Structure 1
Amino acid sequence: MEYQAVIMAGGRGSRMPDLTASVPKALLPVGNRPLVWYPVNMLDKAGFESVIIVTFDSVKRDLVQALQSSAGELLIRLEVVTIPSDEDWGTAESLRFIRDKIKTDVLVISCDLITDIELHLLADVHRTYDASVTVLMHTLPDQSTEGGIYVPGSKSKRKIEQRDIIGLDEKGGRILLLAAQADIEEDLTLRKSVFKRYPFIQVKTRLMDAHMYILKKWVLDFLADNKVGRTYSTIKGELIPYLVRKQFSRPKTGQLVPQPNSMEPEGAQQDKDIASYGGLDELTKTARTMSSWNEHMGDMSDYYQHGDTLRCHTHIMENGFCIRANTVAAYCEANRQITQHRQILGDDPLIHPTATIKTKSQVGQDSMLGEGTTVCEKVSIKRSIIGKHCTVGDKVKIINSVIMDHVNISEGCTIQGSIVCGNTHIGEGVEMKDCLVGSSQNVPPRAKYSSEVIGNADRMMEI
């Protein structure tokens, strides 16, 4: 087994609290499947035999049940590891928590990532450059960077959130700089040694970290050993930027290569330098220079010349589908586009066999109906996802919306560009545009809403 796969499903969905107030982020429906199903399905199709899913104690039961009911013909074995529900751990802390389960290099994926990437493309980069970390990035679409998109519950268009500033070498594969725009107060700074070695640096602002990483096993060892002196809470926000900065560092004088099972006092663990990890013993170094294990006289000659052991690389996904459903806007976009990507969604029909559509109703080919849903007469549904066990009354129009499970929409309603969370009842004649309705709401008849959040006051979303 070359890589172990880990899915991080312990996020609280703090950027979309009205959606995650009653449904854990990992179980939010996209295309009538829970979010976490998409990375599980991707790993299964890629041939992985097992995956570790890290989630909260309180979520485990529902997560396992949701995956079992949505799994279909998946063959991959699921190992669900729980972290305390009252802890606010980041992805790096969760990865540290499962260190003892990781025996090889590790492929880490966020549960909110939906993509059709062929995983071997990322693995090929990792192998070719013997990278310490390989990051999947994708190019932002024009609508996210320029025009923005309407967000349900918002009065105006939402621009893309804070970008990353990414510096790449001339070939566009090695990461030389990674910084969040919000963290840069004045000017960007790089070491002179980096400029001397890479006089041409591409600076990108339209690349998004997809939250899929391949990490060397020794990176996880470093993360676990340095839990006292240095705090790395998140992989993307803290660990990866640190690795990028430390690429050209050298071990401190007298620094020993740490042993995985050493019994050093806790205080001593914090002083170990990243440059002392991942080093090769003299025998391995000699063997590699004498073998054809890779092109040490070709593309890798620069690494050999400078003795690099810490290398951060990226695979940039230029084409295909790649989106993180980690905000309300991204969640809407994922649902809007998912019906166009059947290779991701699977072979199930867009209209479930148990769904009922009565006479003179129209359901567009870009829409979905979930299990047990009833669509009454003279209904029009376009570019929308309707969940399980919903009832859509006579003469209802639903356009460009997401309707979750167990929603009852009464006669004569018009719903456009909105999200309606589960177990909600919408009265007769309601008109709703660009709204977000929280779970278990009762919307009064003939009410009219535009760009509003309809929910409990103590859970109102910040726009």
Structure 2
Amino acid sequence: MDLLNQESKSRAKSEFQAIILSGMGSQLGPLIASHGDDPTPKALLPVHNKPLVSYGLSWLEEANIKEALIVCPPSHVAPLTDHIQATSPNLKVDIKAFEPDMDGPISTVSILRKIANRIHSDFVLLSCDFVPSLNMKLSSLLNMWRVDMTGMVAASLFYEASDEAQKRKGKPPPTVTYREGDILHVSYDNEKQAQIPMHLLTKFGTCRMTRKLVDSHVYIFKKTVLDVLPLVPSMKSIKKDLIPLLCTLQYSRTKRRELSNVLVHPESITTAENVQEKGSISLMTALQYSTTQSLEIKKTAHVQRPQTPTPAGKAPWGSSEDSSEGNSDSEPEEEDPVFVPSLRCGLIIQKRSKDEICGRVDTLASYREINLSLLREGSLDARGGRDGIDPKAQISTNSAWADSSRIGEGSVVARSSVGQHCVVGKNVKIINSIIMEHVEIGDWVKIENCVLSRHTKVGEKTQLKDCESAPGAEIKAGASYQGVSLDGTEKANIVLGDE
């Protein structure tokens, strides 16, 4: 009997709750447009013929997390509820709608403030558009949080950007300053020369800086982090405000003293009187209060309290903060009778692999990239049977199709996915493209590097390259387009047929 595994599963039920943020997906262009009165939630966009949110839900279930809260726009509640009830019966999912209010625009921190009363444990927060790689197990990340990240109040998951992502224009990745296991500073400024606080350099000396890491928007938080939010009313963004604030606790004595009584339960703080009475500090307590966990300390059962007095101008024994001349946060202070924990902010880096893909599906470019990368992996789960495929049709091994779709004689599907209930005519060529559900394609059509949304209709002898269509778009016969976003309005349909 695997007692260790059973214990891990039992703890996961009570230890962690999952929060999934599902926004409108405005950067996905026409793909998230409504089809009549029927909304198109970003969370339900098909990725490799599987709804986007299903990747995150499966990730949670594999880690044996039993409870999740999804926060989404009001119009998305009904379709998300229907999908989750049909596909995730073992996961207790609560769906809450968010709406703008008099307090200002919606932000990730404002959402956390509103749902704080529903969070009853440490929690994993992720976006609905995150697709983890096959070897990135959430259970492994949680075990790192339990064992290797003593004293953490938060941890962030970053991943190495793909070659395609590094070449794309747009917002550059953040500047991340870190050392082994800890994120020390993160900046989203677009300046060529990154700036980091002198306090950080004074405290840690040697550290690493990079702009090759991408924020996955996957975080692990102590529940007590929620108590910090009311103290900083101006805070709006988790990645730009909350995480940088928590990072400063590692090198700013002032910030740490301001927030330690909020972030750390009183019973877990060791006072000087308690240490003097007991004469020693346990291993776990010593590690919790230490910013640097050496192997020598880990091998020691107890750490004896030194008998010599603390020199003037030095941090009290047990504190993780050293003094530094000229640094307002590190100036000599009176000895503090309370040993304040280090309040570390952890960093988990997912290394990039040629054979696997992970990332966020938050733009048109990333939607194409991740879909096509998953096709390269060739998952058998996304391949249907041959009943609806004409014997003379050719489908490459790195393509995906649904059982309910029909593909006509002489058609070729190469490195593409064809969704549910699609009808593909004769002698059609589909190359490097994503075809969503209920799409109708006439005979002698060529489609290359395109994304066709649900209920799109393409007339015969049409040629499309580097295009994407909105749900319900109708492209009349004989049209030829390259690099165009095709919507479903009547005016656009007339223009398409005339050109």
1:358 Cα deviation after fit? 1.3
**Structure-2 residue corresponding to 1:162:** 172
Q: What amino acid sits opposite 2:343 in the alignment?
A: L
Q: TM-score, normalised by structure 1?
A: 0.82
- Structure 1 unaligned segments of length 5 or more: list them: 149-157, 256-272
1:376 Cα deviation after fit? 1.1
CA contact (8 A) 2:124 2:220 kept: yes
Secondary structure of 1:15's match? helix
Secondary structure of 2:283's match? coil
CA contact (8 A) 2:24 2:73 kept: no
The aligned runs of 1:18-417 (5 Å cut-off) are 18-22=30-34, 23-71=40-88, 75-84=90-99, 88-116=105-133, 117-127=136-146, 128-129=148-149, 130-145=151-166, 148=167, 158-159=168-169, 161-169=171-179, 171=180, 173-182=181-190, 184=191, 187-223=193-229, 225-226=230-231, 230-251=233-254, 273-279=258-264, 281=266, 284-285=269-270, 290-293=281-284, 296=287, 299=293, 304-306=319-321, 307-319=340-352, 320-341=356-377, 348-351=381-384, 356-417=388-449
When residues 279 and 240 of structure 1 are mapped into structure 2, their CA distance, relative to the original with a 3 A threshold, is: same
Aligned equivalents of 2:64, 2:377: Cα separation in 1 = 20
1:68 Cα deviation after fit? 3.4
Aligned equivalents of 2:152, 2:385: Cα separation in 1 = 45
When residues 54 and 67 of structure 1 are mapped into structure 2, their CA distance, relative to the original with a 3 A threshold, is: same
**Number of aligned residues:** 417
Secondary structure of 2:263's match? coil
1:340 Cα deviation after fit? 4.5
CA contact (8 A) 1:356 1:375 kept: yes
In the alignment, structure 1 residue 431 sits paired with structure 2 residue 466: no
Superposed CA offset, 1:264-291 (max 9, x none): xxxxxxxxx4354224537742689622
Secondary structure of 1:136's match? strand
1:144 Cα deviation after fit? 2.1
Aligned equivalents of 1:331, 1:53: Cα separation in 2 = 21
Q: TM-score, normalised by structure 2?
A: 0.77
Structure 1, 39-48 or 362-371: larger mean CA deviation: 362-371
When residues 191 and 371 of structure 1 are mapped into structure 2, their CA distance, relative to the original with a 3 A threshold, is: same
Which structure exhibits the higher relative contact order, with contacts defined as CA atoms closer than 8 Å and separated by 6 or more residues?
1
Q: What amino acid sits opposite 2:436 in the alignment?
A: M
**Structure-2 residue corresponding to 1:151:** none
When residues 315 and 275 of structure 1 are mapped into structure 2, their CA distance, relative to the original with a 3 A threshold, is: same
Greater helix proportion: 2
Aligned equivalents of 2:87, 2:372: Cα separation in 1 = 20
1:441 Cα deviation after fit? 1.3
**Structure-2 residue corresponding to 1:154:** none
Q: What amino acid sits opposite 1:121 in the alignment?
A: S
Aligned equivalents of 1:441, 1:372: Cα separation in 2 = 21
Superposed CA offset, 1:400-454 (max 9, x none): 1011111110000000000111111101111111111222111121111111112
When residues 394 and 70 of structure 1 are mapped into structure 2, their CA distance, relative to the original with a 3 A threshold, is: farther
When residues 284 and 193 of structure 1 are mapped into structure 2, their CA distance, relative to the original with a 3 A threshold, is: same
Superposed CA offset, 1:137-161 (max 9, x none): 111122321xx3xxxxxxxxx4363
1:17 Cα deviation after fit? 2.5
When residues 432 and 408 of structure 1 are mapped into structure 2, their CA distance, relative to the original with a 3 A threshold, is: same
1:369 Cα deviation after fit? 1.4
Q: What amino acid sits opposite 2:416 in the alignment?
A: S
- Structure 2 unaligned segments of length 5 or more: list them: 1-13, 35-39, 298-316, 322-339, 493-499
CA contact (8 A) 2:428 2:445 kept: yes
Aligned equivalents of 1:361, 1:107: Cα separation in 2 = 45
Secondary structure of 1:60's match? helix
1:2 maps to which of 15, 18, 32? 15
Aligned equivalents of 1:366, 1:29: Cα separation in 2 = 17
When residues 322 and 304 of structure 1 are mapped into structure 2, their CA distance, relative to the original with a 3 A threshold, is: farther
Secondary structure of 1:329's match? helix
Secondary structure of 1:299's match? coil
Superposed CA offset, 1:362-415 (max 9, x none): 112211112421111111101111111110000000011011111110000000
Q: What amino acid sits opposite 1:105 in the alignment?
A: D
Aligned equivalents of 1:78, 1:459: Cα separation in 2 = 41
Aligned equivalents of 2:477, 2:100: Cα separation in 1 = 39
Aligned equivalents of 2:476, 2:74: Cα separation in 1 = 37
CA contact (8 A) 1:132 1:310 kept: yes
Aligned equivalents of 1:317, 1:377: Cα separation in 2 = 44
Identity %: 28
When residues 176 and 356 of structure 1 are mapped into structure 2, their CA distance, relative to the original with a 3 A threshold, is: same
Secondary structure of 2:131's match? strand
CA contact (8 A) 1:60 1:80 kept: yes
Aligned equivalents of 1:458, 1:31: Cα separation in 2 = 30
Q: After TM superposition, which residue ranges in structure 1, 4 or more long, deviate above 4 angstroms?
A: 85-88, 286-289, 300-304, 456-460
Q: CA RMSD in A?
A: 2.9
1:292 Cα deviation after fit? 2.5
Aligned equivalents of 1:433, 1:163: Cα separation in 2 = 29
CA contact (8 A) 1:125 1:315 kept: no
1:54 Cα deviation after fit? 1.4
Secondary structure of 1:38's match? helix
**Structure-1 residue corresponding to 2:314:** none
CA contact (8 A) 1:247 1:308 kept: no
CA contact (8 A) 1:373 1:390 kept: yes
Secondary structure of 2:96's match? strand
Aligned equivalents of 2:467, 2:197: Cα separation in 1 = 48
When residues 449 and 365 of structure 1 are mapped into structure 2, their CA distance, relative to the original with a 3 A threshold, is: same
1:293 Cα deviation after fit? 2.1
Secondary structure of 1:439's match? coil
**Structure-2 residue corresponding to 1:421:** 453
Aligned equivalents of 2:417, 2:155: Cα separation in 1 = 35
When residues 281 and 122 of structure 1 are mapped into structure 2, their CA distance, relative to the original with a 3 A threshold, is: same
CA contact (8 A) 2:184 2:247 kept: yes
1:197 Cα deviation after fit? 1.9
Aligned equivalents of 1:243, 1:234: Cα separation in 2 = 13
Aligned equivalents of 1:144, 1:281: Cα separation in 2 = 45
Secondary structure of 1:356's match? coil
When residues 316 and 82 of structure 1 are mapped into structure 2, their CA distance, relative to the original with a 3 A threshold, is: same
1:134 Cα deviation after fit? 0.2
Superposed CA offset, 1:167-211 (max 9, x none): 112x3x2112201133x4x75433333212211121110000111
